[in-house]
Chain A
Amino acid sequence: MSELKSTGPQTMDAPTPEDALHEAATLRGRDQTDASGRLVTADGKSLKSSLKRALRMQKLRALMLIAPLLIFVLVTFIAPIGSMLFRSVENEIVANTLPMTTAALKDWDGTTGDLPDEQVYQNLFFDLFIAAEAKEHTKLGSRLNYELTGVSSLFRQSGRRLDDLGEVYQDPLEDLNDAWKDGATWYDLMSGSGAGDTDLVDDQRRRYNALTQSTDRRDIGFVPSQAISQMLPRTARAYTAWATFTVYADEDVVAEEDPWEAVHAALALDLMADGTAAKIAAYSGPRADLLQEAATLEFPAADFKTGFGEIDEDWLAHVTWETIKTYSPKYTNGYFLNAVDLQKTADGFEPRPENQRIYITLFQRTLFMSLVITFSCIMLGYPVAWLLANLPARTANLLMILVLLPFWTSLLVRTSAWKVMLQQQGVINDVLVWLGLVADDGRLVMINNQFGTIVAMTHILLPFMILPMYSVMQTINPTYLRAAKSLGATNWTAFWRVYFPQSVPGIGAGSILVFILSIGYYITPEIVGGTKGVFISNRIAYHISSSLNWGLAAALGTILFLVVLLLYWAYDKIVGIDNVKLG
């Protein structure tokens, strides 16, 4: 450029030096460049950015063409699948339902063999009370039941009998003064005077929303005073929780309702706590007299541990607490460990008991059977594809219709047909018995086992193998075979060294199709597989629809997905994905 500047015509009438430069360049028949030597267009804009702009328009147009499908797939497929897969690690239910208990359990050392201390049981009482009122405790019970059998009924029973634990404290209070039976009394007392503790209200609202998976943001018409929440922390917390429920779940007014037994219990615990008596004596807010009177009461000693033990002795079992502690975190690898026949323990994981290990076997069986099915499809499909590709068009079309015929029949019908064919009183066995090849009492078992699944699935997936093979073979010029023979190759050598290698992309495409389809197949193994011939997908379906253990189903699904990706990657490395031709 500098060379141009020094030698270029520096005419006075040139509008700008830049224009003169371009003119000079054009006159000399060179490509135009700008000051830094980049190519520019005829009107002096950077060539690169012009090209980019032109290409951007093309890309935008292409994007708009696929946009409807893209949005459809994103909304109806990818997003739900993503959220489903997320369930394989999601475990917020324990911490949402038992927030105080799980917090307290953090300090508990499960390895010593000791049970948690009284504080944990107290927290469990309040957590479970709220959960039971929201009827969420049974969900947690079901969740933990996946990890420890019996927890489900433990939670259900405990929810029913929690009131008993609270009544112990309610009765003395109400006997002392009838005013405790009146909701307004409680409301005046808790509202107190002076500044309100809005943080506590927010906390309890957050807790309610997490527990019930809602997003309620209404004002509950109650704020505990800061003085009260400092003096009677448990009571303030329990009362606020109750108030939140009263407004959000029951749609009632806080001042008009009687609080739960749990609130009474909380007050009793507060009154029994060290130093509370002195604070109450100095307190002068509304209903201070009632408090001062109650402070003199002798409550039964707080022993929730024994109380829970009486409700169900499983609460005194170490393993119950270990399970709760293990599954306290919001995210867990428990489902994945479960999916590979391991179980989570306090310090890592260990293999499951032998009689509970099924998933590794299922995964192995799924992979093995998919391979067998793929292989039999290759063996059966290759000659047919060859014939299709080499017959005259008319005959080939007829044959093609026969290949496609299964596509026009319902999958369920085809599978059921195999059931008719293969069962012990079925067509094949009848014929064998009639021919005398098999004794009547020695009929072959060909269904409800792996054999049945392999036969039926090979039949169903065969077209997926034949079609890609056919389309690849069609492109192989028959002259190659002639050339090989003219060079001295026998029919077999010509096929094996010249034809077969060129048909490998078709085999690859067919194999990927059949293998990936069969690894996730559900209906056929369900119908003809019995117990020995089912696939991992049948187990996933069971967890989705029967056991409702969606986390485990999601973990199994994720593993299956990863296995397929891994195989795809391996295939790409070994054969090369650009070697796959579908037509």
Chain B
Amino acid sequence: MAESSGIDAFVEFERVQKSYDGETLVVKDLNLSMPKGEFLTMLGPSGSGKTTCLMMLAGFETATHGDIRLDGTSINNIPPHKRGIGMVFQNYALFPHMTIAENLSFPLEVRKIGKSDREAKVKRALDMVEMGDFGGRRPAQLSGGQQQRIALARALVFEPELVLMDEPLGALDKQLREKMQFEITDLAHRLGITVVYVTHDQTEALTMSDRVAVFNDGRIQQLAPPDLLYEEPENSFVAQFIGENNTLEGTIKEINGGLALVQLDDGELIDCTPVNVSEIGERTRVSIRPERVEFNKERMKEGAHTLKAEVLEFIYMGDIFRTRLRVAGNDDFVVKTRNAPDQVRLKPGEHVEIGWLPEDCRALDAP
């Protein structure tokens, strides 16, 4: 995970550790390097250390150990207001006693920018988020989505090269959130700014980011572009955390080049792609995505491995069907199929044969 600190690194964390009480580490040995213009998302469950990392970058928390560099210079001892980093807060933190225009003008005023310049920049920033007519209002008079846009405009108005966003869409409803996801990424790419985005919503992370850093237990579990993260999780936490996932527990029997033979706990032997298992006899957790499982014999691919299964539940979800099966002693084995005209609707109690390709079946560590 430790990226080499290349010459083009804009934001760098080097061996950063953070402890609040001197007994436990919230962030353990964090190494991260971001090039300019990247949209990087820190994704993880709450308490995983992602927000702490963001706060250390912003300067509101100090690293207990290690070095944080911005554009090549260490910023460990630079107070937050001198870092020139834009930040969007979870609750927007728009100053309630100022109008929208005053809110936007605030970072320019403290930078001693002239009045006419200031007004032009505020207007441009408001237009950028399509809120040009709202300059005279107070934050309380705006809806959540509008406040969100203003918070974004305020973080951008002083033209920072790095913008941090701490779960900025957490308080919005689903539709608005999806719209804002698109707008934020669009804006970031248009302006060429570097963004560090913190969220616990994996869909948000997958749709918006150039790269996603999955945090757990104070460490980056995997740092990869969204497609790799989903299709090639490097450990069982990532596999479990990103998207829906079926797991089968077993033991490694054989490793032969690109294939591993796994004996499942009910005795079945299956072929898998080994990822972070190396020894014979090691416990493993086999991961298969629900949409890569097939039970229609006609569509079954060449070389697919088949297992017997019993249908427990069928759920109609509109665009897809979700079928819950009992496979190798696991009652929560889910299969997702597209709602196509010729698609079979399984009934509870039916016995079927399901199958998948060894490439889609990844043998990961068993925690």
A interface residues, Cβ below 8 angstroms from B: 477, 479-480, 482-491, 493-494, 497-498, 501-502
Q: Is B39 an interface residue (CB 8 A)?
A: no
Q: Is B58 an interface residue (CB 8 A)?
A: yes
Within 8 Å by CB of B110, from A477, A482, A483, A489, lies A489
Q: How far is the CB of A487 from chain B (nearest CB, A)?
A: 4
Quick check: A484 and B85 within 8 Å, CB to CB?
no
List 7 tightest A-B contacts by C-beta distance, closest first. Answer: A487-B107, A483-B93, A486-B87, A479-B93, A485-B80, A501-B97, A489-B110
Q: Is B168 an interface residue (CB 8 A)?
A: no
Within 8 Å by CB of B91, from A479, A486, A501, lies A479
Q: How far is the CB of A98 from chain B (nearest CB, A)?
A: 65
Quick check: B111 and A483 within 8 Å, CB to CB?
no
Of A477, A483, A485, A497, most B-chain CB atoms within 10 Å: A483
Q: Is B215 an interface residue (CB 8 A)?
A: no
What chain B residues lie within 8 Å of A494 (beta carbons)?
81
Quick check: B106 and A484 within 8 Å, CB to CB?
yes
What chain B residues lie within 8 Å of A477 (beta carbons)?
91, 93
Q: Is B37 an interface residue (CB 8 A)?
A: no
Q: Is B89 an interface residue (CB 8 A)?
A: yes
Nearest opposing residue in chain A for B91, CB measure: A479
Quick check: A483 and B81 within 8 Å, CB to CB?
no
Quick check: B95 and A493 within 8 Å, CB to CB?
no
Nearest opposing residue in chain B for A502, CB measure: B97
* Chain A to chain B contacts (Cβ below 8 Å), 30 pairs: A477-B91, A477-B93, A479-B90, A479-B93, A480-B93, A482-B58, A482-B60, A482-B80, A482-B89, A484-B95, A484-B106, A485-B59, A485-B60, A486-B59, A486-B87, A486-B155, A486-B164, A487-B81, A487-B106, A487-B155, A487-B158, A488-B110, A488-B111, A489-B81, A489-B107, A489-B110, A490-B81, A491-B81, A494-B81, A498-B95
Q: How far is the CB of A475 from chain B (nearest CB, A)?
A: 10
Quick check: B106 and A497 within 8 Å, CB to CB?
yes
Q: How far is the CB of B108 from chain A (nearest CB, A)?
A: 9
What chain B residues lie within 8 Å of A498 (beta carbons)?
95
Quick check: B106 and A489 within 8 Å, CB to CB?
yes
Q: How far is the CB of A45 from chain B (nearest CB, A)?
A: 39
Q: Is B96 an interface residue (CB 8 A)?
A: yes
Q: Is B219 an interface residue (CB 8 A)?
A: no
Within 8 Å by CB of A488, from B84, B96, B164, lies B84
What chain B residues lie within 8 Å of A484 (beta carbons)?
95, 106
* A493 to B81 Cα, complex, angstroms: 10
Quick check: A486 and B58 within 8 Å, CB to CB?
yes
Of B90, B107, B110, most A-chain CB atoms within 10 Å: B110
Number of cross-chain contacts by CB at 8 Å = 65
Quick check: B107 and A488 within 8 Å, CB to CB?
yes
Quick check: A502 and B158 within 8 Å, CB to CB?
no
Of B79, B81, B107, most A-chain CB atoms within 10 Å: B81
Which residues B143-170 have CB closer than 8 A to chain A? 154-155, 158, 164
Nearest opposing residue in chain A for B106, CB measure: A487
Quick check: B96 and A502 within 8 Å, CB to CB?
yes
What chain B residues lie within 8 Å of A497 (beta carbons)?
106
Interface digits, B55-98 against A, CB 8 Å rule (1 contact, 0 not)? Answer: 00011100000000000000000011110111101110101110
* A487 to B106 Cα, complex, angstroms: 8
What chain B residues lie within 8 Å of A493 (beta carbons)?
110
Quick check: B95 and A480 within 8 Å, CB to CB?
yes
Q: How far is the CB of A472 from chain B (nearest CB, A)?
A: 12
Quick check: B81 and A485 within 8 Å, CB to CB?
yes
Quick check: B89 and A483 within 8 Å, CB to CB?
yes
Q: How far is the CB of B28 from chain A (nearest CB, A)?
A: 25
Quick check: A482 and B93 within 8 Å, CB to CB?
yes
Q: How far is the CB of A491 from chain B (nearest CB, A)?
A: 8
* A488 to B111 Cα, complex, angstroms: 7
* A482 to B90 Cα, complex, angstroms: 12
* A497 to B81 Cα, complex, angstroms: 14
* A370 to B93 Cα, complex, angstroms: 37
Quick check: A483 and B84 within 8 Å, CB to CB?
no
What chain A residues lie within 8 Å of B84 (beta carbons)?
488
* A479 to B97 Cα, complex, angstroms: 15
Supplied contacts A483-B87, A490-B81, A497-B106, 13 more A-B pairs, CB within 8 Å:
A482-B80, A482-B89, A483-B89, A485-B60, A486-B155, A487-B107, A488-B81, A488-B82, A488-B111, A489-B81, A494-B81, A501-B97, A502-B96
Quick check: A479 and B81 within 8 Å, CB to CB?
no
What chain B residues lie within 8 Å of A479 (beta carbons)?
89-91, 93
* A501 to B97 Cα, complex, angstroms: 7
Nearest opposing residue in chain B for A504, CB measure: B97
* A480 to B90 Cα, complex, angstroms: 11
